[in-house]
Structure 1
Amino acid sequence: MPDANADHPLELAAQRVRQLEQQALDMHDRAQLLNKEGRFTEAQEAYAAMHRLEDEASELAATVGCVVCVLGDAPQQDASAEPSLCTTDPAVFKPYYQLQPALPWPTAATAAPTTTATVPTAAGGLPEAALRGRAVGCVLGSALADAAAMGVHWMYDLGALEELAAERRPQEAGREEEAGSPGPHTGLRREHPYGWGLEFMDPPRSPFYAYASGRNSPYGEQTLALLRSLADQGGLHGGAYADTFAAVFGPDSGFDGYRDVSTKGFLRNHVRGMPPPLSGANDAQANCIARLAPLAAAFAAPAPPGPAPAPSASSAIPVPRDGADAGGPAAGLLRCVELATRVTQNTDAAVAWACVGAAVLERMLLGGSALAAVEQTLAELEGPQGRLAPHCGPLAPELAGHLRRVLQLRTTPVPEAVAELGRNCHMPNALQTPLLVVLYVEHLAAGQSGGGSGGDAGGRGEGVVLRGGGSGGGDVVQAAVLPAEAFVWGVRLAVREGGCCASRAAYVGACLGALTAGGGVGGAGGGEDLPARWVAKYTAAEQVRSWALQICEARSRASGGSVA
């Protein structure tokens, strides 16, 4: 209730904004609970009520500005949940208005020694051409998978999804798989979701928005805003990214799509005049995981040797991370993930989850297998000197436990595992379920190939193919490569489980887009090993490829070369 002592209209409006924001959070929690209970109609009504509260809060916030400044206080329950210019140290804003340039491609001089906490490398890691192929595959694979999932996004009714799958079967019967020649995987082609799936459902059936088939989901659209900013700037500039995000999704943008809780929270803070990181919403949902691919493409590099710096007393105060600070030569991936995440989701939980997801993805992009990537990231979380410590802080033990559970389930069929882990937009399952899918596909590929063609990048025999990364003389560096059709398997497995399948597919597509680069007939140049029929259906494919190549060009220039 409004404070009876607040007799100024602006104070009353500020209190109302705070009240509406809390009511929207409560309604969101209720909607999620109803979904879990299978009460889908009631859940949709709760989501609609949540959006009405969000919209009213946003309209009122435009007249209020900084709520804390108006009321002269901070909410007692969580002082960090409400942005305030009047209580924030100006030093916090500095790194968001400095360009963090795309990093040079790793070389022998920059590669870290092989340990259980770093990506295995030799002679400086993979050649630039191989890294570029994995980077483009990561970015385009993520965006493509998101678009493939959009048609059934946020469908929680598994019975309805099974009906759609039954409709799809006669359409797909007899169609040759688009991801490559049958090889040893023919047996998988006769069953759902390997022989057919729910990708690019036309017309789309999402109960929350009406997009044309081939368009990205709201998660994918947000990722493209980040990708565009990285390409335009040649790296991460938090202020420019915030401006791009507002220009794409703001009220005067002409945007005709769906604005989720995270986006509305950002826009509400932006219209208040809040700069990054105060622009970020009080949110820690799947958005922070779904948009990691462009950041990995721009900043993936072996971690420097030595212990990580100690975390600061407050997460709001910037500290040196990844061996660099604002005045150093360059910030590493995890530092840039934190900066980018806080622009739109300014919570410690969002940063922690995003950094864990980025650390796993980085290892795959640099040549490691999925299994090795998860195991090594888990080791970092469990070690107090690991590079994740400054970004995860006291959440590290909890996150480690969630990763450990994924490893325990990695050979469990995906439907059974997702039934345990969950299928919504919240953590921990918003990272657990896509990781589970990638690990299961890697396990599946090993079984189909007989498990005798190699070992994973951690040196244990798991059937992951290791292929040389270079064609010239000198040492040949091996990288984990999955068959091209593994991308299709993984995305279909991610989509078939419904719920927040677009964010799930986006992360799966990022991982498998990197792991399958060079795994088919297309080579490793720029996403050629992704399924051609899917790429043809994705309306933004060429724009995404162009932006990804711009990022690669920035890395090549930083390395002293150029992209042919």
Structure 2
Amino acid sequence: MSAKAQAMVLASFIGDALALGPHWEYDAAALRERFGEVTGYVAPDPAGYHAGKKAGDQTHYGDQTLVLLRSLAERGGFDLEDFAAKWVARMRSYDGYIDGATRMTLKIFDFGEGPEQSGSNSNDLAGASRVAPLVCALRHDLPGLVAAARAQTKMTHNHAQVIEAAEFFARAAWGVLAGKKPRRALEEAAEAGYASAPIDRWLRAGLDAADEDTVAAIGRFGRSCHIDEAMPGVIHLIARYERDLPACLTQNVMAGGDSAARGMLAGMVCGARLAPGDIPQAWLAGLRARAAIESDLRAIVR
């Protein structure tokens, strides 16, 4: 396996896990006062959204991505029906936070729809944030990667802009694995053409803010889960910290809001130019799903 592909997947999961404790704290000043500079894993509030989780665990976004990774490992490629079956089984018995998109998707499955039509109408970026395992598994098949990235997103988030965002970031990470610098990979991914998502506007906003303080820039764009606010923030993170993964993921958390979805995508694209040894060892050691992730990555290669 490409060492960069492995680092890409690990960095995406790390971006999610670092956000677990402070996730959905929208007041950046209050976040800093409570947590200080978040440079490692933090356990969530026992009375908060992620009650029961431990430091180094994944949010519900990361847990769903683990399901996709396991499906890829067991099936030897992307199989939407298998991913759907595994996802439904996991989320029906999930003891963590269940967001609105997940609740609606489960209801649509209950109505008898298949995974091609099961997605909620949520415009949350989270639906696009799961794509790192697909980029790894399909890194030699760009058309297959694009199709899979769109299909896995549509299964839970049947919203045109979220589906196209998944394609955009899959293309960008694929470009970095191929040797392009992250900023250039973003620019080339935007050239693919998108019918619904204003990718060019989001890209320009994020790139133009590359020299700004991250907390201020993401505060200006918006800290929410919604794609129109979240997309420029992810692009800002990648452009500002394309050579500094630790700063990228740390400052993402300090900006507050839905830092988990942003962190998964920014970690993926910035991590795709690294090797696992370039990732802080404390982050690798404390990632509670690390053994499962690395085992599934080895199975994907086999």
Query: Structure 2 length normalisation: TM-score?
Result: 0.93
Map 1:172-187 → 2, pairs under 5 A: none
User: Between the two proteins, what is the percent identity of the paired residues?
Assistant: 30
Choose 1 or 2 for highest CA Rg: 1
- Residue 236 of structure 2 corresponds to residue 436 of structure 1: yes
Which residue does the alignment assign to 1:307? none
Distance in 1 (CA, whole Å) between partners of 2:59 and 2:284 is 15
SS of structure 2 residue aligned to 1:278? coil
Deviation at 1:258, TM superposition (A): 0.8
Which residue does the alignment assign to 1:546? 295
Which residue does the alignment assign to 1:200? 41
Q: Which of 268, 286, 291 pairs up with 1:537?
A: 286
Map 1:59-208 → 2, pairs under 5 A: 132-166=2-36, 196-202=37-43, 204=45, 207-208=48-49
SS of structure 1 residue aligned to 2:240? helix
Answer yes or no: is the 8 Å Cα contact 1:199–1:495 preserved in 2. Answer: no
Q: Which of 405, 419, 428 pairs up with 2:205?
A: 405
Which residue does the alignment assign to 1:234? 76
Which residue does the alignment assign to 2:114? 275
Q: Which of 357, 362, 365 pairs up with 2:177?
A: 365
In the alignment, residue 187 of structure 2 is paired with which amino acid? E
Distance in 1 (CA, whole Å) between partners of 2:160 and 2:255 is 28
In the alignment, residue 491 of structure 1 is paired with which amino acid? L
SS of structure 1 residue aligned to 2:179? coil
Answer yes or no: is the 8 Å Cα contact 1:297–1:552 preserved in 2. Answer: no
SS of structure 2 residue aligned to 1:528? helix
Answer yes or no: is the 8 Å Cα contact 1:140–1:548 preserved in 2. Answer: no
Answer yes or no: is the 8 Å Cα contact 1:423–1:430 preserved in 2. Answer: yes
Distance in 2 (CA, whole Å) between partners of 1:430 and 1:228 is 27
Q: CA 1:204/1:403 → structure 2, altered by over 3 Å: closer, same or farther?
A: same
Q: Which of 147, 151, 162 pairs up with 1:350?
A: 162
Which residue does the alignment assign to 2:255? 497
Deviation at 1:413, TM superposition (A): 2.1
Structure with bigger helix share is: 2
Distance in 1 (CA, whole Å) between partners of 2:72 and 2:247 is 30
Which residue does the alignment assign to 2:246? 488
Give CA-to-partner distance per residue, 1:291-346, whole Å, 9 cap, x none.
1101111122475xxxxxxxxxxxxxxxxxx3xxxxxxxxx211111121122222
Distance in 2 (CA, whole Å) between partners of 1:552 and 1:429 is 36
Answer yes or no: is the 8 Å Cα contact 2:28–2:215 preserved in 1. Answer: no
Q: CA 1:206/1:360 → structure 2, altered by over 3 Å: closer, same or farther?
A: farther
Give CA-to-partner distance per residue, 1:453-491, whole Å, 9 cap, x none.
xxxxxxxxxxxxxxxxxxxxxxxxxxxxx4xxx221111
Q: CA 1:412/1:302 → structure 2, altered by over 3 Å: closer, same or farther?
A: farther
Answer yes or no: is the 8 Å Cα contact 1:151–1:206 preserved in 2. Answer: no
Answer yes or no: is the 8 Å Cα contact 2:206–2:234 preserved in 1. Answer: no
In the alignment, residue 414 of structure 1 is paired with which amino acid? T
Deviation at 1:205, TM superposition (A): 7.0
Deviation at 1:204, TM superposition (A): 4.2
Answer yes or no: is the 8 Å Cα contact 2:123–2:161 preserved in 1. Answer: yes
Query: Structure 1 length normalisation: TM-score?
Result: 0.51
Which residue does the alignment assign to 1:97? none
Which residue does the alignment assign to 2:58? 216
Deviation at 1:206, TM superposition (A): 7.9
Q: Which of 94, 98, 104 pairs up with 1:265?
A: 104
- List alignment gaps of at least 5 residues for structure 1: 1-128, 167-195, 304-321, 323-331, 381-387, 443-481, 518-526, 554-564
Map 1:242-257 → 2, pairs under 5 A: 242-250=84-92, 253=93, 255-257=94-96
Q: CA 1:504/1:348 → structure 2, altered by over 3 Å: closer, same or farther?
A: same
Greater RCO structure (CA 8 Å; 6+ sep): 2
Distance in 2 (CA, whole Å) between partners of 1:544 and 1:416 is 34
In the alignment, residue 501 of structure 1 is paired with which amino acid? S
Deviation at 1:197, TM superposition (A): 2.3
SS of structure 2 residue aligned to 1:336? helix
SS of structure 2 residue aligned to 1:508? helix
Answer yes or no: is the 8 Å Cα contact 1:413–1:440 preserved in 2. Answer: no
Distance in 1 (CA, whole Å) between partners of 2:35 and 2:99 is 27
Answer yes or no: is the 8 Å Cα contact 1:155–1:207 preserved in 2. Answer: no
SS of structure 2 residue aligned to 1:342? helix
In the alignment, residue 495 of structure 1 is paired with which amino acid? V
In the alignment, residue 542 of structure 1 is paired with which amino acid? A
